[in-house]
Structure 1
Amino acid sequence: MASSKTDGSDSEWWRGAVIYQIYPRSFMDSNGDGIGDLPGITSRLEHVASLGVDAIWVSPFFRSPMKDFGYDVSDYRAVDPLFGTLADFDAMLARMHALGLKLIIDQVLSHTSDQHAWFAESRSSRDNPKADWYVWADPKPDGTPPNNWLSVFGGPAWQWDSRRRQYYLHSFLAEQPDLNFHCAEVQEALLGEVRFWCERGVDGFRFDACNHQFHDALLRDNPPASLASIGEVSTVRADNPYAMQQHLYDKSQHENLAFLEGLRRLLDEYGAVALGEVGDENAPPVMAQYTELGKRLHLAYSFSLLTADHSPAHLRHQVEALDSALAPTGGWGCWAVSNHDVPRVATRWSGGAAPDTRRDRLWLALLLSLRGSASIYQGEELGLPEAEVPFQLLQDPYGRAFWPEFKGRDGCRTPMPWTGEAPNGGFTTGTPWLPAYGPHLPLAIERQAAAPDSMLAFSRTLLHWRRTQPLLRTGGIRFFDTQEPRLLHFERYGDGASPLQAIFNFGGEPVSMPLPDGLTPLVGQPLAATSVIHTSDGKRMLQLAPYGVFFGASAGEG
C-alpha cells in the first residue's frame, strides 16, 4: 500500500535540509526482542519531529543474514522479520508524512548478501542466466587472486568459490559479493528494486557506497599509496592495509556516471531524491561529478568531517575543497560529524577532555551553519558520548578483526536512552543486542526534555531558529583569515540579503578579536550568551567564551 507524500511543491526541499539518521537496530524496540524495529521507530517519531528536522534517513531494514547488520541485503523488497513487515513500513511512512517529515531509505546497490537468490544462481555454474551478475575472475596460474585489490574490512577483496573454481570480488565482507555493473541486466534489475520503493511513496534514497558500483573491467592492480596519504580516508584507519593503496581501479570508475543518469531519470518520475555516499581518497571531484546539476545524484554525503582532526584549519580546508569542487558543476553536498560508522563526535572531538555541553553545542552550530545539507545521527541531539563495549559483547565484524587497536563501530550503535529510570534506558523490555551504556542514562530524552538548559533543549531551539535563516540553508560561503588559530570565521551570503557571519572558538579559553566593521549580533540567535562585545583602545572587540559561537549580521549586500 503506497503512502501519499508530503507536499511536493518545493521540489528542492533537500537543498539545505537537515536529515536525521536512524539506525533501526538501536532506536526503539517495540516487541521486547532486544532489537529496534519499524514499529518502534513509528512510536517515537514525535521526538524527531519536535527537533525541527526536514527528513529522516533510515538505515537498512531489508531481509538480510545480518553479517553487516543489514548492509548485506538478501531481498531488496522484503522487510526483515527482525524489523517488522511491509505493513509496518507503510504505517511508519504514513506517520512520517503526517508529521511533515520526508523519508529517505538506504539502498545498497553495489553488492548483495551471499544469501541473495541472484548470487546463489550466479555461483552455481559458469553458464547459468546470472553467471555474469557478479564479478568473477580466474585465479593466476599459481592459484592466487587475480589482482591486488583489498577489502575495506581488511585482507584481499577476492574470495575463492569451489563450485565455479573462480574468485568473486567483495569490496567489503566476503559475505557481500560485488554486483557486476558492466552487465546491463544487473543495472535493469537494480533499477527495478529502486522503483519498488518509489511506488510505495518514499521521498528519497541514500545510496550506500555508490562509487563502488563499477570496477575496472581489465582488473588492473591498484598502485601503492604514498606514505603521506595513508590514513587520509576518514572511514579507513591507517593500520588497515586498504589505506595503503590508491584505489584507482576498484571504485570511482567513469562508467558509473551513465548509470547514475539512468537512476536519476527513474527518480525524477517520482520526485524522489538521491543522496549518494561517496568515500574516496580524493572525494570532492567525484562528488562534483556525481551531483552535476540535474544529471545524476541530487546531493553527495561527505566523510570529510568524520575525522579526529577538528582544528579550524582542517575544517576550513575540507569545506573550501568541497565548495570549490561543487561550484563549477552546480552540485550539492551533505555534511555530517557523526554516523553509524565512526565514534560519536562528543568523544571524537573532545581531545580526551571531560564531557562538555558547550563543546557539543559548538559542533552542532557549526554543522548547521555550513553550506550544504546536514545529517544528524540519532543521539547527537543529546550530546551522547561514545559508548564502551567490552570485547565479549562486541558484534561488529570490523571491530573483531582489528581489536584491540580498533574497537569497531559498536560504540556509536548502542541503544538510544529514552528514560533514565527504566531498564536499558527504555529502549527494550528484553536483553538489548548491544548493552545500554550507563553514562548515557543521565542524558536520556525524558530527563533532558524537562531541563531548559539541556543539550536537547538547545538542539530544538537551534534547529527551529535555523529554519528562519534562509542564508544558512542555501547561501554561499566564504572564509576569513584570523590571527587566532582557535577561531573559525566565515560568512554566508546571497539572494541580495545582508550577509550572515559566524565565528567559532574551538578553544577551552576565552578569545578576543576585533569586531568587523558593521557587524552586529544577530537578533534571536540561540548562542548570544557565548559572546560579549566591548570597546578597547577605541575598537569594538568581540570576546568569545570557551567554545563560544557568534552569529552576526553584516551591512551591505551579499
Structure 2
Amino acid sequence: MTTLTAAKGDPNWWRGAVIYQVYPRSFQDTTGDGIGDIRGITQRLPYIASLGVDAIWLSPFFTSPMADMGYDVSDYCNVDPMFGTLSDFDEMMAECERLGLKVIIDQVISHTSDQHPWFIESRSSRTNPRADWYVWADPKPDGTAPNNWLSIFGGPGWEWDGIRKQYYMHNFLTSQPDLNFHNPQVQEAMLGTVKFWLERGVHGFRLDTVNYYFHDKELRNNPPMVYDADSTGLETDTNPYSMQNHLYDKSQPENIEFLKKLRSLLDQYDCRTTVGEVGDGDRSLTTLSIYTSGNDKLHMCYTFDLLSPKFTADHIRKVVSKCQEIVTNGWVCWAFSNHDVQRHVSRFIETPDERQRVAKLAISVLASLRGSICLYQGEELGLPEAELSFEDLRDPYGIRFWPAFKGRDGCRTPMVWDSKAAHGGFSPGPKTWLPVPTEHVTLAVDTQEDDPNSVLHHYRQTLAFRRSHTALFDGDLTFLDTQADLLAFVREKGEERLLFVFNLTRDPQDFLVPASFGSITPVSMPGFDAGLEDKVVQLKGLDAFCAKI
C-alpha cells in the first residue's frame, strides 16, 4: 500500500479550484462487465488533466449492495469489487499525484446500508452494544410511525422492524437507515472512516447530505411548507417531501460541533479540504454560511440554487447576490450539473440547435463567478440528458415516481470516448449498465478533439482563461445595473479589474458601459466576440463580453 500522509503545496488550493466529478460506474469500464471501474478512471486521468482542472471528485466506490448506486455503504474502508481493489485505488492516487490532480472522495456518513455490520447488530436487540447507533423509536399507540417525517424517495421516513418492535428512521430508501449522531460513539466511528482515507492520501471529502447528520431528539412533527415565488424547491405535486418545512429531521444545531470535530481532524493533515452538499430548500444559503464560517468547520459547500431549470440573468443575479449577502466569511462551490439533476444543457436550451452555444455560454458564466466550481463528467462535451425508457431505469428514485419524475439515470449514462467503438468506447463488453444514447456517441471525445470549435475545446480554453486572471480565483464580485436583461458584474483583485457582460436571452442586447469606468480594453474571451463601439457593448443572443477596466 502506498500511504501519503501529507499533501504538499498551497493549503488554500481549494479556493477558486475547478473540480471534475467522476461517476465511477459510468466513466470507463476495463473489465467488460458494462460497469466503470477504478482502473478505467486511472486510464482516463490524462484526459481529465488536459481539461485544466485542479481536482477530481469521485462518487462512491465503497463496498455496497448498490441499492442506491453506492450511496448505501456497507464497508467504508474498502473498495467494492465491482470497481476494483484498494491497490487499484492506490495506483490511481499515484497517477493523480504524477499529473498534479488532487483527489476528493464522496463521504456518505449520514446513513449506511442495512447490510452494514453496525446495523445488523443494532437491529438484533435493544440491548446490544450498537443498539443506539441508529435512530430507533417506539410506535404511537395505534402502531403508526413516531411522527410525520417523510423519505425523499417516497413514503414515510420510518420503517418497522419486527425484531426490535420499533421503527427506524431513513431519509432515503428503507435500506438506508440513518445513523444516530447524538451518540458520541457514532461520531468517533465516522471520523475513523475519514481518517482511514486521509492516511491513504486523499486531499478532501465531498460530504453527502451534510446537514442530515442530526435529527430532533424530541421527534417533533415538521410543519407544512409555504413556498414563496422565488422558491427553488421541488414541485410539490410530484414529491410530497417538499410539502413539509423540514425543521426537525435535518439541519439541527448539534451538527455545528460535529463539523468542528471533523475540521480539527483534517487540520492535522496538510492541504486538505471539505465540500458539503447542502439540501435545505430556501434556507440553503443560510446553512451554507453557518457551515463554512469561522475557518473551523467546512471549507466550502454547494447548494442546489444553480441546479435549477433557470438560466436567466435575473435568477443568477438573485442567487449570487443573496449568497454574497449571507455568506460573508465562508466559501461557496458553484455547479450547473451533477449526478442528481437533469444535465444543464437540456435544462437551459429552448431549441436543440442552440445546444452547443448554450453549453459554451454556461461554462463561461460559471468560470467567471466568485467561488470554486464543480464540473460533471460529460458536460465538457455538451451532453444532453439521455431519454430512457422505464425498462432501462436503475434509479430507485425515478422508478418510484415515474412518469411524473424520470429519475436521475438520464444524467448518469456512460461517458462517450470513441465514436467508432461499441458503446462509445466506454466498455469492451456486450452490454452496459445503462444504455449509451446514439446522440451521445456523435458527441464523443474523439470527434470533439478533431473540431477546434467544439464544446470540449471551449472548456479547455475557458478554464485556461480563468487560470490566467488572478481576479477570477477569489477576487471580489460586484453586480452592475443593466439597461436590459443582462448579467453584468466586475471581478477585481489588486490591480486587476475585469468587466463581464453576459446576454442569456436569444435577442441582441446593448450594454452601456458606466461613464465612471473611463476607457476600457476588450479582452479576448474564448468563443465570443461581442463588439464595443463608443462605450456600448453590442451582444448577440447568447453572447458574452469581457474587458479590462
If the TM-score is normalised by the length of the shorter chain, which range does it land in?
A: over 0.9
Cα distance between partner residues in 1 of 2:112 and 2:145: 21
Per the TM alignment, residue 355 of structure 1 is displaced from its structure 2 partner at its CA by 4.0
Letter in 2 for 1:168: Y
What amino acid is aligned across from residue 449 of structure 1 in structure 2? Answer: E
Are positions 1:514 and 2:538 aligned together? no
SS in 2 for 1:198: helix
Map residues 244-255 of structure 1 onto 2, 5 A cutoff: 244-255=243-254
Match of 2:498, SS state, is strand
Question: Which amino acid counterpart does residue 370 of structure 2 have in structure 1?
Answer: R
What residue is the counterpart of 1:137 in the other structure? 137
Deviations 1:301-329 (A, max 9, x none): 121100012221111111111121111xx
The one of 472, 488, 497 equivalent to 1:499 is 497
2: CA distance between counterparts of 1:107 and 1:92? 18
Separation of aligned partners in 2, 1:356 and 1:283: 30
Q: Secondary structure at the match of 2:418?
A: coil
What's the secondary structure of 1:291's corresponding residue? Answer: helix
Equivalent in the alignment of 1:541: 536
Tell me what 1:402 maps to. 401
Partner of 1:476: 476
Q: Which whole-Å CA distance do the structure 2 matches of 1:283 and 1:405 have between them?
A: 25
Q: Return the offset for 1:429.
A: 1.3
Would you say the 8 A contact 1:368–1:466 is kept in 2?
A: yes
Q: Do structure 1's residue 199 and structure 2's residue 199 form an aligned pair?
A: yes
Match of 1:344 in 2: 343
CA distance in 1 between counterparts of 2:157 and 2:394 reads: 22
Shift in Å, 1:501: 1.3
TM-superposed CA distance for 1:6, in Å, is 8.4
Matched, 1:303 2:304: yes
Task: Determine whether 1:523 maps to 2:523.
Answer: yes
How has the CA–CA distance of structure 1 residues 313 and 422 changed in structure 2, closer, same or farther, with 3 Å as cutoff?
same
Contact 1:299-1:331 at 8 Å conserved across structures: yes
Distance 1:451 1:352, change over 3 A: closer
Encode CA deviations 1:210-238: one digit per residue, 9 max, x unaligned: 1000000000000000154796236x765
Letter in 2 for 1:38: I
The verdict on how the C-alpha distance between 1:452 and 1:43 changes in structure 2, with shifts beyond 3 A counting, is same
SS in 1 for 2:545: strand
Rounded Cα–Cα distance in structure 1 between residues aligned with 2:414 and 2:438: 11
Question: What is the alpha-carbon distance in structure 2 between the residues aligned to residue 479 and residue 423 of structure 1?
Answer: 48
How far did residue 523 of structure 1 move?
A: 3.5
Aligned length: 544
1:373-424 deviations in Å (ceiling 9; x for gaps): 0000000111111111111111111001111111100000001010111110
Could you list the per-position Cα deviations for residues 257-293 of structure 1 after superposition, in whole angstroms to 9, with x for gaps in the alignment? 0000000010111132111111102111111110113
1:163 aligned residue: 163
Please list the CA deviations of residues 103-151 of structure 1 after superposition, one character each: whole Å capped at 9, or x if unmatched: 0000001000000000000000000000000000000000000000011
Instruction: Give, in whole Å, the separation in 1 of the partners of 2:197 and 2:496.
Output: 42
* Aligned CA distance change for structure 1 residues 512 and 432 (closer, same or farther; 3 Å): same
| Mapped contact 2:122–2:132 kept (Cα < 8 A) | yes
CA positional deviation for 1:462: 0.9
The 3 A distance-change label for structure 1 pair 237 and 97 is farther
Q: Gapped runs of 5+ residues in structure 1?
A: none
Alignment partner, residue 424 of structure 1: 423
CA distance in 2 between partners of 1:352 and 1:338 (Å): 19
Counterpart of 1:46 in 2: which secondary structure? helix
Matched, 1:441 2:472: no
2:61 paired with 1:66: no
User: Which residue does 2:115 correspond to in 1?
Assistant: 115
Any conservation in 1 of the 2:56–2:102 contact (CA below 8 Å)?
yes
Show the counterpart of 2:381: 382
Separation of aligned partners in 2, 1:68 and 1:436: 20
Q: TM-score, normalised by structure 2?
A: 0.97
Report the secondary structure of 2:327's partner residue.
helix
Judge conservation of contact 1:6–1:100 (CA < 8 Å) in 2. no
- Kindly provide the amino acid, as one letter, of the partner of residue 462 in structure 2: L
User: CA separation in 1, counterparts of 2:81 and 2:294?
Assistant: 39
When structure 1 is superposed on structure 2, of 224-233 and 84-93 the one drifting more is 224-233
Secondary structure, aligned partner of 2:132:
coil
- TM (norm. structure 1) is 0.95
Structure 1 residue identity aligned to 2:277: E
- Aligned mates of 2:317, 2:176 — CA distance in 1: 36
- Matching residue's letter, 2:26: S
